[in-house]
Amino acid sequence: MPRLCLLFSVLLALFVLPARSQVNKPSSKPGPTPTPATLSAPEYRRQIDKHIVELRRLQKALGRPLKPWLQNRAKDQVIKRGDGATQKVSGSEWDRRALDIKGRASKQEVQAAIQSLQARRKALEEWTTRDASGRYFQGADAQTRIAQLENNGTIRTGPTAFQKWMDGAMKWFGKTIEKFFRWMSGALPSAPSGSVPAVNPELIQGLFYLTVIALLGAIGYLLLRPLIAHWDRWRFFWRRSDARRKVEWTGEDAELLQMPPDELLERARAFAAQGNFREALRHHYIRLLLQLDARGVWRYDTRRTNWEHIAALQQNPVHQTLAKPIGDLTRRFDRVRYGNAPCSNDDWQRFERDATAVENSLGAN
């Protein structure tokens, strides 16, 4: 046993300690972050239109050199509105698209870049358009609503308490191992030149056992890591063994989620007859969520946001065609419900028509 421990310590000294000396080398400091250029909203609109024209020409070119075009425009910008409000436009999207292109770009890749610019132009128009009272669009109400939902436990945007504890424990374990090896590098005696060093067998044996324990801990962490990553999903299925929806929402919408879809439709039409189109739209949208759940499009989880459900729907090959119309209805619902946007009779009729069309298409999906 002492010979085995001695062999292990020699291997450790040859591989672990030199590797640590390389890790501790000072790294070069990163350069200063460039300041994004500031553009007015009309200037940014003209820039988008110009880029769309350039891409349409590039789409017809023989070589279609889309990658250098994207790389030259991967810069952050700050857009300034007429009232002085600013919004940062990130250029990281163009970097990501450029990485996916190998050689000559396809027409579909160029068209995808054009569609992204068109979406930016639409978002810019919504951000710079005034309402009937002359006020610009404000996103603070939506942010406040998200904060309220997070505070009352309806949604969660950060890691769980167990995940935070596990992360802290792993950091503590790593620092402890680092301190131990630093102490060992200073505690081992330096042998005179030309002589055989005297090694304490108990020290080497203790080092061997500690290393074995560290390896077992690392192996255990690697085995448990998938369980930790999917803990929320498994806990959700364990708690729903009877396949019933457990409503965890709090507030005005919690009661509506427990009503039958037909009753929600009757209430929506009654509110519309009274001229209360905001409540009519809200009742009809929640009816749509329940109809999608009842017809097996998704299993509605009240602890997840509607946009998380739509993102998961896009990965479903059977029902992914519903993601776009449902996303459009959800965006209109959010603007009225959380953004306090006005809702007229025309808005309500168009929403009811589109939501009914989605429900009627469920039989074909």
Decide if 124 contacts 45 (C-beta within 8 A): yes
Contact 199, 208 (CB under 8 A): no
Q: Which residues of 109-119 are buried (b: 16+ CB within 10 A; e: fewer)?
A: bbeebbeebee
What pLDDT, on a 0 to 100 scale, did the predictor assign at position 266?
Answer: 92
Q: Which of 74-83, 156-165, 192-201 has the lowest mean pLDDT?
A: 192-201
Structure-block tokens of residue 110: 């160029």
C-alpha separations of 59 from 70, 122, 224, 255 in Å: 13, 22, 49, 52
Encode pLDDT of 34-89 as tens digits.
788 899 989 999 999 999 998 998 888 877 888 888 888 888 899 998 888 888 88
Residue 21 has pLDDT above 70, yes or no: no
Is the predicted pLDDT of residue 198 greater than 80, yes or no? Answer: no
Q: Closest by alpha carbon to 221, among 170, 162, 172? A: 170
Rounded to the nearest integer, the mean pLDDT of the chain is 78
Over the stretch 300-345, which tens digit does the pLDDT of each residue have? Answer: 887 888 898 888 888 888 888 888 999 999 999 999 988 889 999 9
Could you give the CA distance from residue 333 to residue 347 in angstroms, rounded to a whole number?
11
